[in-house]
Amino acid sequence: MPARPVWKGHVRIALVSIPVEVYAATRSTSSTSFRQIHEPSGQPVHYEKVVTGIGPIDPKDIRRGFELEKGRYVLLEDEEVEAVRLESRKTLELSQFVEAGEIPVLYAQKPFYVVPADELAEDAYIVLREALRETGKAGLGQLAMRGREYVVSLRPCGRGMVLETLRYADEVNKANSYFRDIPDARPDAELLELATALIDKRTGPFDAQAFHDRYVDALLDLIERKKKAGGKTVEPDAERPEPTAAKVTDLMAALRGSLGAGGGSPSGKKGGRPARSEPRTPARRGGRGRKAA
């Protein structure tokens, strides 16, 4: 089990409150990730923040912007964005129950394992798990986590329970716009019989281990064969210091000056705040600019 839960709190039904911990149930493989390498030096390639017509810029001059219309943005300060982030409430209120198979697959987003926080919580946890299993229901609620609010479902899974984040209704494209030109007709009876017979012949229990990413397997095999055959490898030159951002910026300004390109020279200031990763810009529900179905 991972050392750190992504959320700790209580699952509550009416007056019953169960302490739980929530852990990520899936992970993304990184076995085939690549880095871009500058072959002559063996150094990894980095990327600069640049502005069209200006060139490299100082990270401290970067602000978050939300596009109101083409080419028009409203600027937001980091403090303003942080102020509207939702605090992670420590309670998941199961406000509704639905048939477990009633939730369309398009709404499923990301699964998490839910476990009792301690031995005292196990009895109530097991009661809820078995009640959901006996009724064939899934519990629905809303959970504030990592600064935003999610619709979630809770259902039994073996000895435990799985919480799954769900997409909001306006995040799912309506199927009618894609399927409307497909004829609504019954196929030939003989063809349908043959197709159902083929499906029956190949029907069996689900086994995830039976499937492999053949691209990843082939790529890892290629890398292993090249390594054994003495394929070309590079290592960074330890004696070659990596230029700092300020030196690179100064060099760019010097080159522009030499060419007589006036104006727009980038700032060479040091000590600027490092650029922060861009979070999802806030938008009102229903205002994502999606094409109407």
Q: If pLDDT is split at 50, 70 and 90, which confidence band does 268 have? A: very low
Which residues touch 262 (CB under 8 Å, ≥6 apart)? none
pLDDT in tens, 101-125: 999 999 999 999 999 999 999 999 9
Phi, psi of 213 (to 5 degrees): -80, 100
pTM attached to this predicted model: 0.60
User: Smallest Cα–Cα separation from 151: which of 137, 162, 140, 138?
Assistant: 140
Give the confidence band of 56 by pLDDT, cuts at 50, 70, 90: confident
Q: For a pLDDT cut of 90, what percent of the chain falls above it?
A: 35
Contact 91, 18 (CB under 8 A): no
Residues 6+ apart with CB under 8 A from 273: 59, 60
Q: Identify the structural domains of the chain with CATH numbers, from first to last.
A: 1-29+41-174+211-281 (2.40.290.10)
CA distance 237 to 273: 29
Cα separation, 63 vs 76, whole angstroms: 7
3-state secondary structure of 245: helix
pLDDT over 70 percentage in the chain: 75
Please give the sequence-ordered ranges of beta strands (E in DSSP) within the chain, or none if there are none: 7-13, 16-24, 37-38, 43-44, 50-51, 55-56, 64-69, 72-76, 91-93, 96-99, 108-116, 137-145, 148-157, 160-166
Q: Is 290 helix (H, G, I), strand (E, B) or coil?
A: coil
Per-residue pLDDT tens for 139-176?
999 988 877 889 999 999 999 999 999 999 999 998 88
